[in-house]
Amino acid sequence: MYTVNQLLRTKGNQIFSVEPTDSVLRAIEIMAERHVGALLVMHEGRLLGVVSERDYARKVVLKRRASHDTPVSDIMSAPAVTVAPETSVRQCMELMTQRRFRHLPVVDGGRVVGMLSIGDLVKAVIQAQSEQIEQLERYIAG
Protein backbone atom coordinates (compact mmCIF):
# COMPACT_ATOMS: atom_id res chain seq x y z
CA MET A 1 0.00 0.00 0.00
CA TYR A 2 1.16 3.49 -0.79
CA THR A 3 2.51 5.90 1.79
CA VAL A 4 1.49 9.53 2.06
CA ASN A 5 4.90 10.53 0.69
CA GLN A 6 4.39 8.41 -2.45
CA LEU A 7 0.92 9.84 -2.90
CA LEU A 8 2.15 13.42 -2.56
CA ARG A 9 4.82 12.80 -5.21
CA THR A 10 2.04 11.92 -7.65
CA LYS A 11 -0.58 14.42 -6.48
CA GLY A 12 1.74 17.30 -5.69
CA ASN A 13 2.17 19.10 -2.43
CA GLN A 14 0.51 22.42 -3.16
CA ILE A 15 -1.27 23.81 -0.13
CA PHE A 16 -3.70 26.67 0.25
CA SER A 17 -4.16 28.54 3.48
CA VAL A 18 -5.75 31.48 5.24
CA GLU A 19 -4.91 33.43 8.37
CA PRO A 20 -7.11 32.93 11.44
CA THR A 21 -8.17 36.59 11.22
CA ASP A 22 -9.33 36.32 7.60
CA SER A 23 -13.08 36.38 7.10
CA VAL A 24 -14.97 33.21 6.39
CA LEU A 25 -16.11 34.86 3.15
CA ARG A 26 -12.46 35.17 2.05
CA ALA A 27 -11.85 31.51 2.89
CA ILE A 28 -14.87 30.41 0.85
CA GLU A 29 -13.71 32.57 -2.07
CA ILE A 30 -10.28 30.90 -2.02
CA MET A 31 -11.85 27.43 -1.85
CA ALA A 32 -13.99 28.28 -4.89
CA GLU A 33 -11.05 29.75 -6.84
CA ARG A 34 -8.80 26.78 -6.08
CA HIS A 35 -11.51 24.10 -6.38
CA VAL A 36 -10.78 22.67 -2.93
CA GLY A 37 -13.06 21.79 -0.03
CA ALA A 38 -10.78 22.91 2.80
CA LEU A 39 -7.93 25.26 3.65
CA LEU A 40 -5.21 25.18 6.22
CA VAL A 41 -5.41 27.91 8.84
CA MET A 42 -1.88 29.13 9.42
CA HIS A 43 -0.13 31.97 11.19
CA GLU A 44 3.57 32.72 10.73
CA GLY A 45 4.12 29.28 9.21
CA ARG A 46 2.43 27.46 12.08
CA LEU A 47 -0.60 25.22 11.47
CA LEU A 48 -3.48 26.23 13.72
CA GLY A 49 -6.36 24.29 12.21
CA VAL A 50 -8.39 23.46 9.12
CA VAL A 51 -11.45 25.24 7.78
CA SER A 52 -13.76 23.34 5.45
CA GLU A 53 -16.97 23.77 3.52
CA ARG A 54 -18.56 21.59 6.21
CA ASP A 55 -17.41 24.02 8.92
CA TYR A 56 -18.93 26.84 6.89
CA ALA A 57 -22.26 25.06 6.43
CA ARG A 58 -22.60 24.01 10.06
CA LYS A 59 -21.06 26.94 11.90
CA VAL A 60 -22.02 29.89 9.71
CA VAL A 61 -24.99 29.08 7.48
CA LEU A 62 -26.99 27.05 9.98
CA LYS A 63 -26.33 29.57 12.74
CA ARG A 64 -27.20 32.48 10.44
CA ARG A 65 -23.87 34.21 10.98
CA ALA A 66 -22.46 36.72 8.53
CA SER A 67 -19.63 35.33 6.37
CA HIS A 68 -17.94 38.70 5.99
CA ASP A 69 -17.96 39.41 9.77
CA THR A 70 -16.96 36.00 11.06
CA PRO A 71 -13.22 35.26 11.36
CA VAL A 72 -11.97 31.86 10.27
CA SER A 73 -10.69 31.23 13.81
CA ASP A 74 -14.32 31.11 15.03
CA ILE A 75 -15.26 28.15 12.84
CA MET A 76 -12.04 26.25 12.10
CA SER A 77 -11.49 22.71 13.33
CA ALA A 78 -8.61 22.85 15.77
CA PRO A 79 -6.21 21.51 16.62
CA ALA A 80 -5.67 19.94 13.23
CA VAL A 81 -5.19 16.19 13.12
CA THR A 82 -2.10 15.54 10.99
CA VAL A 83 -0.12 12.66 9.55
CA ALA A 84 3.53 12.16 8.68
CA PRO A 85 4.81 11.40 5.16
CA GLU A 86 5.57 7.80 6.23
CA THR A 87 1.93 7.12 7.16
CA SER A 88 0.20 4.55 4.96
CA VAL A 89 -2.81 5.46 2.85
CA ARG A 90 -4.74 2.79 4.74
CA GLN A 91 -3.94 4.41 8.10
CA CYS A 92 -5.09 7.77 6.72
CA MET A 93 -8.39 6.30 5.54
CA GLU A 94 -8.96 4.65 8.92
CA LEU A 95 -8.20 7.91 10.73
CA MET A 96 -10.50 9.96 8.48
CA THR A 97 -13.30 7.40 8.83
CA GLN A 98 -13.00 7.17 12.61
CA ARG A 99 -12.73 10.93 13.16
CA ARG A 100 -15.27 11.80 10.44
CA PHE A 101 -13.36 14.40 8.47
CA ARG A 102 -12.36 14.65 4.82
CA HIS A 103 -9.09 16.61 4.77
CA LEU A 104 -5.79 15.74 6.35
CA PRO A 105 -2.68 17.95 6.57
CA VAL A 106 0.68 16.25 6.16
CA VAL A 107 3.40 17.51 8.49
CA ASP A 108 7.11 16.67 8.40
CA GLY A 109 9.37 18.01 11.11
CA GLY A 110 6.83 20.61 12.18
CA ARG A 111 6.37 21.92 8.62
CA VAL A 112 3.25 21.39 6.52
CA VAL A 113 4.27 19.55 3.34
CA GLY A 114 0.88 18.76 1.82
CA MET A 115 -2.82 18.21 2.22
CA LEU A 116 -4.82 15.09 1.40
CA SER A 117 -8.51 14.72 0.75
CA ILE A 118 -10.57 11.58 1.03
CA GLY A 119 -10.76 11.65 -2.78
CA ASP A 120 -6.97 11.51 -3.02
CA LEU A 121 -6.92 8.45 -0.80
CA VAL A 122 -9.69 6.68 -2.72
CA LYS A 123 -7.80 7.28 -5.99
CA ALA A 124 -4.65 5.80 -4.44
CA VAL A 125 -6.51 2.69 -3.27
CA ILE A 126 -8.07 2.20 -6.69
CA GLN A 127 -4.65 2.59 -8.33
CA ALA A 128 -3.06 0.06 -5.96
CA GLN A 129 -5.86 -2.44 -6.56
CA SER A 130 -5.59 -2.01 -10.33
CA GLU A 131 -1.85 -2.66 -10.19
CA GLN A 132 -2.39 -5.75 -8.05
CA ILE A 133 -5.04 -7.09 -10.44
CA GLU A 134 -2.68 -6.58 -13.40
CA GLN A 135 0.09 -8.45 -11.61
CA LEU A 136 -2.23 -11.34 -10.77
CA GLU A 137 -3.51 -11.50 -14.35
CA ARG A 138 0.08 -11.61 -15.66
CA TYR A 139 0.95 -14.32 -13.16
CA ILE A 140 -2.07 -16.43 -14.15
CA ALA A 141 -1.45 -15.92 -17.88
CA GLY A 142 2.29 -16.56 -17.62
Q: What is the pTM of this model?
A: 0.87
**CA atoms within a 13 Å half-sphere pointing along the CA-CB vector of 30:** 18
d(CA 43, CA 54): 22
Q: What is the CATH number of domain 4-141?
A: 3.10.580.10
Q: At what angle do helices 4-11 and 118-141 cross, to 10 degrees?
A: 100
Radius of gyration of the chain (CA): 17
d(CA 133, CA 47): 39
Closest CA to 107 of 2, 6, 13: 13
Instruction: Name the stretches of the chain with pLDDT < 70.
Output: 1
Domain residue ranges in the chain: 4-141
d(CA 45, CA 93): 26
Q: Tens of pLDDT along 81-101?
A: 999 999 999 999 999 999 999
Report pLDDT for 71.
97
